[in-house]
Amino acid sequence: MEQTLRLIEHVHGHAGWLAAIALVHPAIVLRGSKRSPWSVGLATGLVTLVFSVGCFMYAFYRERLKQGIFQHAPAMGFLFERKEHLAFGVLVMTWVGALAYLGSYRQLAQRAYIAAAAMAVAVATFGTIVASYRTF
C-alpha cells in the first residue's frame, strides 16, 4: 500500500506542476479576442482532477503522516496546511474563470486564471518542499 500511495503522491505532485503551467495558458489567451474553449476546458479539468486526487490522499496523509510531521517539524506541517487552503483557492478561482468564460466575462475570466495560476505555483512549491521532507 505504501508503494501505491507514494506513486499516487508523485503523480499528484507532477500533475500539480502541470496544472500550474496549464493555468497560465488561458490567462494569456483570454487577453486577446480569440476564443479558447480547449485551453479553458483542459486547464479546468486538470486542476479539478489534481484537486480530487489530493482529496483522496488526504485521509491517508492524516492517518500516516500528519502527526509525525507536526511533532518533528511543525513548520512543515503548517506549510502543508497552507498548501491545502491555497489549493482550494486554486480550484475556486479556476472555476470562477471557467464560468466567467462561459458567461462571456472575458476580463473576469482572465483575472481569475491569473490568480489561480499564481496560487497554483505556490501550492506546487509548498507541496514539493513538504514532500522533500516526508513522504509515504
In terms of Cα–Cα distance, which of 31, 21, 20, 91 is closest to 55?
A: 91
List, for residues 68-110, the tens digit of each pLDDT value: 899 999 999 999 999 999 999 999 999 999 999 999 999 999 9
Q: What is the pTM of this model?
A: 0.90
The three cell numbers locating residue 13: 505532485
Whole-Å CA distances, 111 to 13, 43, 50, 65, 127: 25, 15, 21, 36, 24
List, for residues 1-36, the tens digit of each pLDDT value: 889 998 999 999 999 999 999 999 999 999 877 788
Distance CA 62, CA 55 (A): 11
Contact, 93 vs 113, CB < 8 A? Answer: yes
